[in-house]
Amino acid sequence: MFNKILIANRGEIACRVAATCKRLGIASVAVYSDADANAKHVAACDEAVHIGGSTAAESYLRIERIIEAARATGAQAVHPGYGFLSENEDFAHACEAAGIVFIGPPVEAIAAMGSKAAAKALMHAAAVPLVPGYHGDDQDPQLLQREADAIGYPVLLKASAGGGGKGMRVVERSADFAAALLSCKREAASSFGNDRVLIEKYLMRPRHVEVQVFADRHGGAVYLFDRDCSVQRRHQKVLEEAPAPGLDADVKRAMGEAAVAAARAVNYVGAGTVEFIMTPTGEFYFMEMNTRLQVEHPVTEMVTGQDLVEWQLRVAADEPLPLTQQQLKLDGHAIEARIYAEHPARGFLPSTGTLKHLRMPEGVEFAIDAAGLGEPGRKAPVRIDSGVREGDTITPFYDPMIAKLIVHGATREEALARLARALHACEVVGPHTNVEFLQRIVASEPFASGDLDTGLIERHHDALFAPGKKPFREALALACAALLTREGGTAHGASPWDALSHWRLNSGYTQTLGWRMIDDAAHDDGAAAFTVVFARNGGGQTSSQTPAQTLEHDGVREAFTWSAGAGAHEFRATIGDARVSGRVFVDGDRFHVFCHGEALAFEWQNLLAHAADAEGGEGRLTAPMPGKVIAVLVEPGAVVEKGTPLLVMEAMKMEHTIGAPTAGTVTEVLYAVGDQVTDGAQLLVLDVQ
């Protein structure tokens, strides 16, 4: 076994690998960029080496700097994690040339599976079922158009060297093919340095089911069962679970055996994932093989009791696989939810900013019983894998993941219930997140019943994004409690208005509190601004019919008391006959309330000042997220219709096309290709018709 390894990655996967290294007594070396100088993964490792600037191209994709870091620290092996250089054959070759073990498959296997087109040919030879499509070398746009027309729409364009949803487009009709091809190639070149694409028939209502495989250099090869990864947005996974629900045992076995056959076809070594697309009637087809550990590997660890990173290290150290196929057993059900900093209601655009408050449900980061294999983290049924801490910043340079929330249960129903409770315990203040969206998916009938396919989110869009009824009254009471406490009052007489040394005419006190919803969509009646009148009867002159304190909103006056809880940010309140407890994180004049498993946010308004001016001006078009302008599609003087593409931005290696909000004439373009823009920056001026 190795004495020291370098982890050529960042974030939660670097922390995850470091945890296994620590348990096994292996020293770990982190690498970091300018943006990650104080990152969690740096602190998790025994040593750390700076490798460059904030962008991935300046740091985590610099092969020579990572090799230099490994040599300088005496690391015997490099773990690539996933993403970045994990499936880069040049990197694997550079490690080999430097005498450093690459903890992954042989260079030849990466090359064979790195090209989706070449992989399809190999799978065809190995008798693994394939989706109808075009995987040829000729990339002439007219030929690709003819091939797509012959296959029949809808078709799926995929970057041949890609993954993670990048360089992928669904084309519904022939007239849209040319534009989709251009965009797909551009994104593929940006993400992978290779703009080659392949075309496949786009199957209707398919499931995305994958199989975890492992192989060693001694002829051993096994599959660690299957996972369902069908719930996706923008072709990226949102929820994953193991085992895949509702599949016949014969189908599961056939899929596992096909995955092992795929691995053997390329003389595979190490951890790999063979991804299949499955029709509603149970036919499955090979999509691709990821020659690395997957983001969703924790669900497999939870149901098999195996530490897959330890398996990787042992296989890379030329040991045989720890278990045979017959020795592998399934235990219960596991589900993983990816918590991202993003705007679900704005097309899942990434969100950036400082994590001012971060509280995850009670659980464990990856842990394994000291006795060794067999009990990873499942003693605690909730597991949190995260690469950030409170106070860290989600930047535009990398994937906006905050954490992976993984739960285990004896059954799928038990795991679902546990996941719902865990999501309701998540508290994030700073960037927008998808936590509420995840709650809605988990509670939805299709997911709960196992009616899964890759179009689940789109098909149930209206229900998943419908305005929901939230505990507005209770949250408002807690916000008022937090504000009144901050301003010097409590329910138990600490307010100066209650002091006996002060005289007040008429013995009473009222205070008008102005509030504004930070996100009006969270309030089901659509009110954005409102007032609450807090009244306190002074001097102990209260009759049994008159409450000592009242809160009035929308003309309704109710008895009101409150107190601070034992823990930080905790408050309790009684409004009328309702009692509520929750947590309030105060950020300046913004009050983020977490109660009844829901999150609401209010901003306290000084009623003597004007409310903040809304961003206005017809024709003002602003950036929906920070990023780089990669294409300007119009010039000043252009007359456009509503929805006309105006420019293309790139953020976190994903393209986002900005369309005209209304018909008009472009009078000024404020940014050029290559310019970096901040969230909310005005991009151009549109003279509205």
> Which residue shows structure tokens 């008391």?
561
Running DSSP on this structure, what letter comes out for residue 176?
Answer: G
335 belongs to a structural domain: yes
668 belongs to a structural domain: yes
Question: What's the per-residue H, E or C state across 43-61?
Answer: HHCCEEEEEECCCHHHCCC
Mean pLDDT in residue range 184-188: 91
Segment 572-595, tens digit of pLDDT: 999 988 899 999 999 988 999 999
Q: Which amino acid is at 248?
A: D
- Containing 281, the helix (H) or strand (E) segment is none
Neighbours of 371 (CB within 10 A): 7
Residues 6+ apart with CB under 8 A from 175: none
Q: In the chain, what percentage of residues exceed pLDDT 90?
A: 63
- Token readout for 457 is 């989110």
Mean pLDDT in residue range 129-158: 92
Based on the domain organization, do 253 and 326 belong to the same domain?
A: yes
Q: What CATH code is carried by the domain that includes residue 563? A: 3.30.700
Q: What CATH code is carried by the domain that includes residue 185? A: 3.30.1490.20
pLDDT of residue 497: 47
Segment 637-652, tens digit of pLDDT: 999 888 788 988 887 6
Query: How close are the terminal C-alpha atoms of the chain, in Å?
Result: 70
Among residues 54, 83, 103, which one ends one of the domains?
103
Is 522 in a helix, a strand, or coil?
Answer: helix
The C-alpha angle with vertex 33 and arms to 30 and 39, in degrees rounded to 5, equals: 60
Based on the domain organization, do 661 and 595 belong to the same domain?
A: no
Based on the domain organization, do 342 and 386 belong to the same domain?
A: yes
113 belongs to a structural domain: no
Using pLDDT thresholds of 50, 70 and 90, give the confidence band for residue 489: low
Based on the domain organization, do 232 and 331 belong to the same domain?
A: yes
> Which residue shows structure tokens 């700076």?
50
The order of strands in the sheet holding 47-52 is 47-52, 27-33, 4-7, 77-79, 101-102
Segment 589-624, tens digit of pLDDT: 899 999 999 999 999 885 543 333 333 344 567 787
- Token readout for 524 is 């089901």
Q: What CATH code is carried by the domain that includes residue 361? A: 3.30.470.20
> Which residue shows structure tokens 């660690």?
224
Based on the domain organization, do 66 and 92 belong to the same domain?
A: yes
Q: How many domains does the chain have?
A: 5
On whether the CB atoms of residues 532 and 551 are closer than 8 A, the answer is: yes
Of 41-50, 129-138, 502-511, which gets the smallest average pLDDT?
Answer: 502-511
The C-alpha angle with vertex 49 and arms to 44 and 53, in degrees rounded to 5, equals: 110
pLDDT of residue 616: 38
117 belongs to a structural domain: no
Is 483 in a helix, a strand, or coil?
Answer: helix
Q: How far apart are CA 674 and CA 671, in angstroms?
A: 9
* Domain span at 86: 4-103
On whether the CB atoms of residues 519 and 631 are closer than 8 A, the answer is: no
- Token readout for 666 is 């472009």
pTM as predicted: 0.80
626 belongs to a structural domain: yes
Neighbours of 153 (CB within 10 A): 16
pLDDT of residue 371: 35
- Containing 600, the helix (H) or strand (E) segment is strand 598-605
575 belongs to a structural domain: yes
Which one is predicted more confidently, 369 or 557?
557
Based on the domain organization, do 158 and 258 belong to the same domain?
A: no
Indicate the Cα dihedral angle 192, 198, 201, 207, nearest 10°. Answer: -30
Neighbours of 250 (CB within 10 A): 9
Among residues 201, 223, 246, which one ends one of the domains?
201
Using pLDDT thresholds of 50, 70 and 90, give the confidence band for residue 549: confident
Q: How far apart are CA 365 and CA 385, in angstroms?
A: 6
Mean pLDDT in residue range 493-515: 59
Q: How far apart are CA 689 and CA 641, in angstroms?
A: 10
> Which residue shows structure tokens 């409102």?
530
Based on the domain organization, do 269 and 382 belong to the same domain?
A: yes
Of 50-64, 374-388, 447-461, 521-535, which gets the smallest average pLDDT?
Answer: 521-535
Q: Is the pLDDT of residue 377 over 60?
A: no
Segment 220-279, tens digit of pLDDT: 999 999 999 999 987 789 999 999 999 999 999 999 999 999 999 999 999 999 999 998
Mean predicted lDDT score pLDDT of the chain: 87
Q: What CATH code is carried by the domain that includes residue 633? A: 2.40.50.100
Among residues 572, 431, 416, the alpha carbon closest in space to that of 490 is found at 572
Question: What's the per-residue H, E or C state across 287-352?
Answer: EEEECCCCCCHHHHHHHHCCCHHHHHHHHHCCCCCCCCCCCCCCCCEEEEEEEECEEHHHCCEECC
| Pairing mode, strands 529-537 and 549-553 | antiparallel
Residue 385's DSSP bridge partners are: 404
Which one is predicted more confidently, 546 or 166?
166
Among residues 582, 605, 628, which one ends one of the domains?
605
Q: Is the pLDDT of residue 301 over 80?
A: yes
Q: Is the pLDDT of residue 526 over 50?
A: no
225 belongs to a structural domain: yes
Of 407-411, 489-493, 570-574, 625-629, which gets the smallest average pLDDT?
Answer: 489-493
pLDDT of residue 538: 59
Based on the domain organization, do 500 and 435 belong to the same domain?
A: no
Question: Which one of the listed residues 292, 412, 516, 583 is annotated catalytic?
Answer: 292
Burial of residue 411 (number of CB atoms within 10 Å: 0-12, 13-18, 19+): exposed
Segment 21-39, tens digit of pLDDT: 999 999 999 999 999 999 9
- Containing 166, the helix (H) or strand (E) segment is none
Mean pLDDT in residue range 451-467: 92
Among residues 186, 185, 187, the alpha carbon closest in space to that of 196 is found at 185
The C-alpha angle with vertex 296 and arms to 292 and 297, in degrees rounded to 5, equals: 60
Which one is predicted more confidently, 538 or 480?
480
Mean pLDDT in residue range 446-461: 93
Segment 303-338, tens digit of pLDDT: 999 999 999 999 999 999 999 999 999 999 999 999
Based on the domain organization, do 646 and 678 belong to the same domain?
A: yes
- Containing 591, the helix (H) or strand (E) segment is strand 590-595
Rg (CA), the chain: 28
Based on the domain organization, do 317 and 404 belong to the same domain?
A: yes
- Token readout for 170 is 């669904």
111 belongs to a structural domain: no
Q: In the chain, what percentage of residues exceed pLDDT 70?
A: 89
Could you confirm whether 146 is annotated as catalytic? no
Based on the domain organization, do 599 and 634 belong to the same domain?
A: no
Of 67-71, 143-147, 498-502, which gets the smallest average pLDDT?
Answer: 498-502
pLDDT of residue 521: 42
Based on the domain organization, do 178 and 306 belong to the same domain?
A: no
